[in-house]
Structure 1
Amino acid sequence: MDSTWLVPVSLAFGFVVGTGLVSLMHFAALRGERAHDVVNSSVPDGVDAVIDALESAGIVVDPSNVVVKASPGALAFGLVGNNSLVHPELTEMVNRVRRSGERLTDEVTLSRGPFGEANIVLSVRVARLGARYVLLVADDRTESHRLDAVRRDFIANISHELKTPIGAVGLLAEALQAASSEPDQVRRFAKRLTKESERLARITQEIIELSRLQAADALTEAEIVSIDRVVSLSLDETKVAADANNVTVISGKKTGALIYGDEALLVTALHNLIANAIQYSPRGSRVGVGVRNSDGVVEIAVTDQGVGIPEVELDRVFERFFRTDPARSRRTGGSGLGLSIVKHVVENHGGDVRAWSQLGRGSTFTIRLPEASRAVATAGDKK
């Protein structure tokens, strides 16, 4: 048998087998690369840097909803824990985008942190990032919602506060007309009408004053102000109220303290504190006004012997229209804006106001203001 033909056949067979092996190895390599891509948790190039630079909360999740990248904001909001989304609401949004392929925007309210002590309101946007990943971006809208609620409450409170005296004025006017032939009744209704009109004017003026204080140019006419003079003027303005309520107002010695600001606004603020102390003091008690300056800070303290303020309400006394005793405030004509005006006046002067109280023992409100340097005061005197 001639064996010469076996050589080419063997070579051809070897070539086929070798080619097949190479193809199998190449195919296996491609499958290995695809498998690596499936399990690899790295995000597309450049996304890491973008997420790190985000001020918003940014999160990238893989097909298994494992968080492969999270911005500092996402961690600060408590949205990520153990490489997973903490809140089911966010997971559901991610799943919806993965199923539909369409971007999703929604606003959600979530608990902040694992214990859920407080809520945050987030504007959340979710979209696919390439073929595998989903990107979630969230912006904090909590403060915006709080301010909206404050505005709504403010408008509602203004409406309520103005409604009472306006309604009373209308009714009294009708009563006056009906009692025109009865002098005693006319005098009684006229006295009530005057009181309600004064209350209406006071509320309106305080709203205007508060709006002005919230403007950027509230201290356009600032100058050197003597705190001793501010105290003296405030005491003069509250003397009638103190005598009417049989409350004695005493003040400490003069200190010569000076600040840079608006005298009229400071008198308004201190007047409000003293008037508030008189209003909530029992008859025959005393209200003290003291001033001290130390380490560049001037402190004006107003102390009463009144009923005191519950601790849970102490942080709210400077809110607009907040009253610790609504019934009493309305009887005395209080608008609920006095302490809010104090707070804004003091803050516009670069200071702060603090409240201390104990039920049954009274309260102390302390205004703290930066003292004007002697050099500034001297320069102001020479003008």
Structure 2
Amino acid sequence: MSSSVALLVGLVVGVVGGVVVASLVLRPRRLELERAAPSDGAAPEAVLSRRLLDLIDPAVVLLDADDVVLLANPAARSLGIVRDTRLLVPELLELARTVRDGGRRRAEVSLSGSVVRGGPRQVGVLGVRLERGSGPAPGPVALVLQDVTEARRVEAVRRDFVANVGHELKTPVGALSLLAEAVEDAADDPETVRRFASRMTHEADRLARLVRELIDLSRLQGGEPLPELVPVGVDTVIAEAVDRTKLAATAKHIAIVSGGERGLVVRGVESQLATAVTNLLANAVAYSPERTRIAVGARARAGFAEITVTDSGIGIPREDRSRVFERFYRVDQSRATRTGGTGLGLAIVKHVATNHGGSVTVWSEEGLGSTFTLRIPLADAPPTPPGDAPVEHDLAGGPSAGNATEGRS
């Protein structure tokens, strides 16, 4: 635990101790904090301690020598680990017995979703044996539980991110090293040198793109404050994104067709929105066959501007659709290697949408293509929660991205 958490836990234990000492005098056996109001004759310290215990976030449970719950604050009961005078989690009961025998203990316990409310939880637990007076006999045991689920999730994401970054950087760096050696060995063969130099340029571009997108993702995730949101024309964003993607599309003889409502205005950061739409178009170009068409358009819907990008590409397998907005996730690793993809483009789109109070979703069928929809609140309408969007149909004829929860890489 951090020093701030340790300080909080120390305060909680002190409060519990004060409550216990006063309560053992005022009441013979059981205390249920949220059910019984302090008696008029209760000591002021006990009343204040119990009120403080009511307000703190950590769950606090007090057990007697028979594992009967003497006290449970509202946080403990709302967590669902206590029912009447019983503690429902065997691991916590075992920890209490260990504490009773050996004094203070710290542990981390997984709480099953079948017991606690709101799904599985990971909690850090501090168990303290409270003595009665100066006698040697152990008194009640206090358990203080701090939810660390989100902290552990963030740690896991950070570990995965570092591992993925290392793997992604090794590929172009290793390729550049090998190509440099090959160029040196082929110094007397101009044609071979030109071929290897071309490959070196490709790998250098891939490395530069990866570094650039890592920086962009870091900024979007809170590394820098979000710039002020100003009115931005959707037509301008789409035109900029089409212009950025035109060269790659022309190389594959792919036509990019714009349409939809004109004149829509959203509140946002123009450069970020242009990057998001560019990433969607670049993704569509990379995964579409040659001599096909990509449609990009916009419309107003339920207070949002919906920017859709529809392709006739390979589509996304059902088992991959829920993960394609994750960083570094790719449906087809070999194809991504050939196209030079970094696996960060759709993650950037997701964070741009989130930072603007919107969302990005997708409809897709294997062999038929995909439609991505970026939803950004309109400048002249209050935003509504993305989950409240009605069921719609997109340009490809499938369920609208406004109602979908799946994605593509």
Could you tell me how far 1:217 is from its partner in structure 2? Answer: 4.6
Map of 1:381 onto structure 2: none
Which secondary structure does the structure 1 equivalent of 2:313 belong to? coil
Mark the runs of 5 or more structure 2 residues left unpaired by the alignment.
1-23, 33-41, 133-138, 382-409
Q: How does 1:36-185 map to 2 (within 5 A)?
A: 40-42=29-31, 45-46=46-47, 48-81=50-83, 83-100=85-102, 102-114=103-115, 119-131=120-132, 132-185=139-192
Contact 2:233–2:266, Cα closer than 8 Å, also in 1 = yes
Map of 1:251 onto structure 2: 258
| Corresponding position: 1:327 with 2:334 | yes
Q: Which has the higher helix share?
A: 1
Report the identity percentage. 45
TM-score by length of 2: 0.76
| Corresponding position: 1:206 with 2:207 | no
Distance 1:323 1:333 in 2: 12
Q: How does 1:174-253 map to 2 (within 5 A)?
A: 174-215=181-222, 217-220=224-227, 222-253=229-260
Residues 209 and 51 of structure 1: is their aligned pair in 2 closer, same or farther, counting only changes over 3 Å? same
Distance 1:151 1:222 in 2: 29
Match of 2:298 among 287, 291, 294: 291
- 1:150 corresponds to which letter in structure 2? V
Distance 2:63 2:324 in 1: 46
Residues 136 and 82 of structure 1: is their aligned pair in 2 closer, same or farther, counting only changes over 3 Å? same
- 1:359 corresponds to which letter in structure 2? E
Distance 1:367 1:309 in 2: 18
Could you tell me how far 1:323 is from its partner in structure 2? Answer: 1.2
Match of 1:360 among 364, 367, 376: 367
Deviation per CA, 1:246-283: give whole Å up to 9, x if none.
33322214510112322222111100001111212233
Map of 1:350 onto structure 2: 357
Q: Which moved more, 1:227-236 or 1:242-251?
A: 242-251
Mark the runs of 5 or more structure 1 residues left unpaired by the alignment.
1-33, 375-383
Distance 1:257 1:122 in 2: 47
Which secondary structure does the structure 2 equivalent of 1:112 belong to? coil
TM-score by length of 1: 0.81
Contact 1:77–1:113, Cα closer than 8 Å, also in 2 = no
Residues 292 and 344 of structure 1: is their aligned pair in 2 closer, same or farther, counting only changes over 3 Å? same
- 1:41 corresponds to which letter in structure 2? R
| Corresponding position: 1:265 with 2:266 | no
Instruction: Report how many aligned residue pairs link the two structures.
Output: 338
Larger radius of gyration: 1
Map of 2:313 onto structure 1: 306
Two-structure CA RMSD over aligned residues (Å):
2.6
Deviation per CA, 1:131-164: give whole Å up to 9, x if none.
3422111001111011011111111111111110
Which secondary structure does the structure 1 equivalent of 2:65 belong to? coil
